[in-house]
Chains A and B, each alone.
Chain A
Amino acid sequence: AQTVTQSQPEMSVQEAETVTLSCTYDTSESDYYLFWYKQPPSRQMILVIRQEAYKQQNATENRFSVNFQKAAKSFSLKISDSQLGDAAMYFCAYRSPGAGNMLTFGGGTRLMVKP
């Protein structure tokens, strides 16, 4: 079974600065998908960014980018030019191919943004 670990329960960043959230995972599969989701107080999980394991190039979405290290089974999220609206819980998630969209989530990191 796959496991996802987020070792940082809380992180804090100054507005306009850059912050990196860590995620490691354990799997014996060679092909899979990785995701970062944002969960604001509204509770709705919002997809931030996704990465296919077969792609060597790191995914980027505007101010969000990932550092995907397949051999190390590491998938960190970098948020540049942090904004107050970025404050939320962030979850790293793993999905096996052919498993529909069943996701295995990490325990989450609470990101606080200081004005």
Chain B
Amino acid sequence: GAGVSQTPSNKVTEKGKYVELRCDPISGHTALYWYRQSLGQGPEFLIYFQGTGAADDSGLPNDRFFAVRPEGSVSTLKIQRTERGDSAVYLCASSPGGATEAFFGQGTRLTVV
């Protein structure tokens, strides 16, 4: 696609439910990143994929959070047993790899009620 696509744009879920957030990177981009942006703050790094493997998952806050990228393209961020504190905008970015610019999607706004 022309840009990084994230779906859904908005998601409202009940506390305790499971959610999946999807990211379609720019075609051919080998690197993919997830960030979380809480209200009024800057984005915080969650996880980085190079190809299919997670090169760095040091930003995942706890074991309720998990992400996959099985074919090295689309990635899914999975959150189990959601909590109200998980409410945030989840941003995805991709890049061709190496020290080049990362391109961001428009994010998914997750609201846990």
Bound Cα distance A6, B100 (Å): 24
Of B15-23, B66-74, B77-85, B88-96, the one contacting chain A is B88-96
CB-contacts of A17-43 with B (<8 A): 33, 42-43
Type the 1/0 row for A93-115, where 1 means its CB is closer than 8 Å to any CB of B: 10001011111111110000000
Q: Does A91 contact B (CB under 8 A)?
A: yes
**A50 and B89 within 8 A (CB):** no
- Given A100-B33, A101-B95, A106-B106 contact (CB < 8 Å): no
Type the 1/0 row for A55-80, where 1 means its CB is closer than 8 Å to any CB of B: 00000000000000000000000000
Type the 1/0 row for B83-113, where 1 means its CB is closer than 8 Å to any CB of A: 0000001010101010111101111010000
**B99 and A108 within 8 A (CB):** no
**B99 and A102 within 8 A (CB):** no
Bound Cα distance A67, B89 (Å): 30
**B45 and A103 within 8 A (CB):** yes
Most chain B CB atoms below 10 A, which of A45, A47, A93, A104: A45
Please classify the interface of chain B as helix (H, G, I), strand (E, B), loop, or mixed, using the class held by over half of its residues: strand
Q: Does B75 contact A (CB under 8 A)?
A: no
- Given A100-B31, A100-B48, A102-B45, A44-B102 contact (CB < 8 Å): no
Chain B residues proximal to chain A, CB less than 8 Å: 31, 33, 35, 40-45, 48, 50, 55-56, 89, 91, 93, 95, 97, 99-102, 104-107, 109
Known A45-B93, A100-B97; further 17 A-B contacts with Cβ < 8 A: A33-B99, A45-B43, A50-B101, A91-B43, A97-B99, A99-B56, A100-B33, A101-B99, A101-B100, A101-B102, A102-B45, A102-B56, A104-B45, A105-B42, A105-B44, A107-B40, A108-B41
- Cβ contacts A to B, 30 pairs, < 8 Å: A43-B91, A43-B106, A43-B109, A44-B105, A44-B107, A45-B43, A45-B91, A46-B104, A50-B101, A91-B42, A91-B43, A93-B42, A100-B33, A100-B48, A101-B31, A101-B48, A101-B99, A101-B100, A101-B101, A102-B45, A102-B56, A103-B35, A103-B43, A103-B45, A103-B102, A105-B42, A105-B43, A107-B41, A107-B42, A108-B41
